[in-house]
Amino acid sequence: MGVAAAARSYVPGLALLAGGALLSQVVAGAVDGLQPLVVAVGVGALVGNTVGTPEAAQPGVGVDKLFLETGIVLLGAAVVVEEFLAAGPTVLGLVVAAVGGGLLLAELIARGLFRLDGTTPSLLAAGASICGVSAVVAIGRVLDARGSAITFAAATVLLFDAVTLVAFPIAGEWLGLTGRQFGVWAGVSMFSTGPVAAAGFAHSPEAGQWATVTKLARNSLLGGVAVAYSLAYTARSATDPGVRRLWAEFPKFLLGFLAVAAIANSGLLSPAALASIGRVSDALFTLAFVGLGLSIRLREMREVGGAAVGAVLVHLLAVSALALAAVRWLL
């Protein structure tokens, strides 16, 4: 396929995302205190659950995750490295404790309390503790899980993504958390990267940056968790060698984020250029969040099983309560 022909199939979806993003800017500009990124998710969810995404728009709308990841790479330009290095060890410690402890807790709750069996507890644990749906799919591949188990766990994670996207910013406001506290709390406790960033930016730009950076640290542990699961389930299926698996599951855009942060902090780019890169990042986030809203399917969420919802809910409440106490104490 030629470049022009390949690009043409993406035009309707990209136009839909751009239309939603423009509408979000207009609505947020008209209402005081409303964040365009939050409106973008709302606009997408409204369209997705009423008229739906037209068939012709599907390829373009599917680019939303690429926009999100590119927006995160460019977010590196807004990062003040000294500030993050100062808080780094504390945040990294929190992330490792939340992922390690969260995985064990989720497995215990799902198997012991809710009597779920097979690979479902591990898929739910991975989705809740690392990076949402992408972790469910990655760990599902490692464990050779059935397609229906992966779909079930992914739908459960998506349900919580939608609920926490609304609940966390409200809770953060109510609890009177600072931008840094809220960002790290959301980054440690919530599930998928898009909703974490959206919730962070719904609180404040500072919270958005901390939420994204904290979530990236969590995502980078996916490879390690995949290796740990493949070792724990060795009898079940053949797996890739450890290092190859670690690299395969490592989110490569994280390297771009670090590279852009290094360039921005080297002093090579002028403040005007950095501000412009920040605007490109904001625009990409807005497009991505319209797509995130479009992917929220309220009808499908009603079909998620009660035991899985119960297990993930207990896990979320326990992890977010512990993480809240930790960020208030440490940050």
Site for other proteins, residues 139 to 198, rule: CB under 8 A: none
CB closer to other proteins out of 233 and 250:
250
Q: Judged by CB under 8 A, which of 238, 272, 302, 329 binds other proteins?
A: 272
Site for other proteins contains 262 (CB under 8 A): no
Size of the site for other proteins (CB under 8 A): 33
**Among 18-26, 84-92, 104-112, 254-262, the segment contacting other proteins (CB under 8 A):** 254-262
**Among 108-116, 117-125, 169-177, 249-257, the segment contacting other proteins (CB under 8 A):** 249-257
What whole-number distance in Å separates Cα of residue 178 and Cα of residue 94?
17
What whole-number distance in Å separates Cα of residue 251 and Cα of residue 261?
16
Nearest to 282 by CA among 193, 205, 217: 205
User: CA distances (Å), 136 to each of 27, 192, 279, in order?
Assistant: 35, 10, 32
Q: At what angle do helices 253-265 and 271-294 cross, to 10 degrees?
A: 160
Site for other proteins, residues 39 to 78, rule: CB under 8 A: 65-66, 69-70, 72-74, 76-77
Residue 297 phi, psi dihedral angles, 5° rounding: -115, 100
Q: Judged by CB under 8 A, which of 80, 104, 259, 298 binds other proteins?
A: 259
CB of 281 to other proteins, least distance (A): 9
Q: Judged by CB under 8 A, which of 51, 174, 270, 329 binds other proteins?
A: 270
What whole-number distance in Å separates Cα of residue 261 and Cα of residue 80?
8
Q: At what angle do helices 81-108 and 205-219 cross, to 10 degrees?
A: 60
CB of 236 to other proteins, least distance (A): 26
What whole-number distance in Å separates Cα of residue 142 and Cα of residue 233?
9
CB closer to other proteins out of 72 and 165:
72
Site for other proteins, residues 79 to 138, rule: CB under 8 A: none
**Helix ranges, the chain (H):** 3-8, 11-30, 36-50, 58-61, 64-75, 81-108, 120-126, 132-143, 147-175, 179-189, 193-203, 205-219, 222-232, 242-249, 253-265, 271-294, 298-301, 306-330
CB of 77 to other proteins, least distance (A): 7
Q: At what angle do helices 193-203 and 271-294 cross, to 10 degrees?
A: 120
| Per-residue tokens: 221 | 């542990």
Residue 254 DSSP label:
H
Q: Judged by CB under 8 A, which of 114, 168, 182, 253 binds other proteins?
A: 253
**Among 10-18, 106-114, 172-180, 275-283, the segment contacting other proteins (CB under 8 A):** 275-283
CB closer to other proteins out of 182 and 201:
201
**Sign of the C-alpha dihedral, residues 291, 293, 298, 302?**
positive
Q: Judged by CB under 8 A, which of 124, 277, 296, 326 binds other proteins?
A: 277
CB of 64 to other proteins, least distance (A): 11
CB closer to other proteins out of 119 and 286:
286
CB closer to other proteins out of 24 and 134:
134
Q: Judged by CB under 8 A, which of 231, 276, 300, 330 binds other proteins?
A: 276
**Among 101-109, 115-123, 142-150, 248-256, the segment contacting other proteins (CB under 8 A):** 248-256
Residue ranges that bind other proteins, judged by CB under 8 A? 1-3, 5-6, 65-66, 69-70, 72-74, 76-77, 250-257, 259-260, 263, 268-270, 272-273, 276-277, 280
